[in-house]
Structure 1
Amino acid sequence: MKLDSVVYILFLVFIISSCHNSSEKLIDGKVQISEEIDNMISEYIIQNSSKAYANTDKKFEVHRIYGTSEKNGVISVYLHSYFGGFNKKSGNSMQGGHSLPALMKIKKDSSGYSVVDYQEPKDGDLYKPSLEKMFPERYSKMELQRTGNIKDLEKEMDEKVNRWLNQ
């Protein structure tokens, strides 16, 4: 191979990889998440999950954010959601809910922020491949390592529910 061809190929590889990396840089944690976005995430999940748990007095949602990326003005939020429905009569005993990873895509518009896409992994044998398709590799590995470990989210949920019960 001629030196010119090698240089040209290396140049193309560099340009292509630079464009890809710059368009979707991952930012770990909640750096890009304002309080407004954080509240919107919970409200969206509560609204979309409430139908499945209609016979409860109050629904709550807390989440762990692994990180974000932004492309063309759309922020992708990689998170683990913990949702539950509660009744005053049964106190802080959850009547139904879920704990699962999710990908939420958010865009800023004239009235604030709006959710433009929301995904959860598929069930059963499709869970791991669908999670790996939704999340960047490092976040899917983190989620798979923490599967079932939601003590931090349970504590946050208990605090919210107890504040509600004590009102």
Structure 2
Amino acid sequence: MSKKKMYLLTLVFLMLTASLLSACNYNSDVTDGDEKVTPEMDQVISDYIVQKYKTGYGETDKQFEVHKIYGTSGSGDTLDVYMWSYYGGFNKSHGTKAQSGHSLPALVRLEKKDGHYMVTKYKEPEDGSLYQSSIKKMFPEKYVKKAADDSGNMGGLEKKMNKKVENWMRKNG
């Protein structure tokens, strides 16, 4: 093998190694669970999603959102939240049976401005054949499987949603 070919192969190898190492460190600040998410942040996320979809489905008496946080990344005044979201529209006449809504993984970026958090990015996976690959682009690898496992299985989120709806129905008789 010529020196030129050897040099090129070495260069390609070093570039690939560097890119793999940087990819491995991309989410090095990922924190599992919701320990970095305050109740204020939780509410900002839910309010944003309710407002975003308020007119996206058929008209209902009240809309709610609940979520399960897989983890977060970021520091300072910016935080990416990797989560599963359940949004639903409800009518008093149907009780806790959602009349519209969705359940899906989402990436939310929160930024603190003037002492308060706001959503500056909201991303959902693409539909159809692009669903799984788009989740891989949105989430750190360790949350991709969790999101796949939660697909079609809301578990605790349904109970959390029912509680919100029941409280609303009690207060608004």
- In 1, Cα distance between equivalents of 2:89 and 2:33: 27
- Structure 2 counterpart of 1:124: 128
Kept in 1, the 8 Å contact 2:125–2:135? The answer is yes
Deviation track 1:70-100 (CA, whole Å, cap 9, x = no partner) reads 0574211001000000011222221100000
Q: 1:140 to 1:23 in 2, by over 3 A?
A: closer
Return structure 1 stretches of 4+ with deviation > 4 angstroms.
none
The counterpart of 1:44, out of the listed 45, 48, 60, is 48
Q: Any residues of structure 2 matched to 1:3-152 within 5 Å, and which?
A: 17=21, 21=25, 24-70=28-74, 73-152=77-156
Code of the aligned partner of 1:63:
H
- In 2, Cα distance between equivalents of 1:111 and 1:50: 27
- In 1, Cα distance between equivalents of 2:150 and 2:59: 30
Kept in 1, the 8 Å contact 2:34–2:70? The answer is yes
Q: 1:24 to 1:97 in 2, by over 3 A?
A: same
- In 1, Cα distance between equivalents of 2:25 and 2:93: 52
Q: CA deviation at 1:146?
A: 2.2
Count of residue pairs brought into register by the alignment: 157
Determine what percentage of the aligned residue pairs are the same residue.
Answer: 45
Kept in 1, the 8 Å contact 2:107–2:138? The answer is yes
TM-score scaled by length of structure 1: 0.85
TM-score scaled by length of structure 2: 0.82
- Report the RMSD for the aligned CA atoms in angstroms: 2.5
Segment drifting more, 111-120 vs 76-85: 111-120
- In 1, Cα distance between equivalents of 2:139 and 2:161: 24
Secondary structure, counterpart of 1:48 in structure 2: helix
- In 1, Cα distance between equivalents of 2:109 and 2:115: 16
Gaps of 5+ in 1: 1-8
Q: 1:163 to 1:72 in 2, by over 3 A?
A: closer
Q: 1:78 to 1:22 in 2, by over 3 A?
A: closer
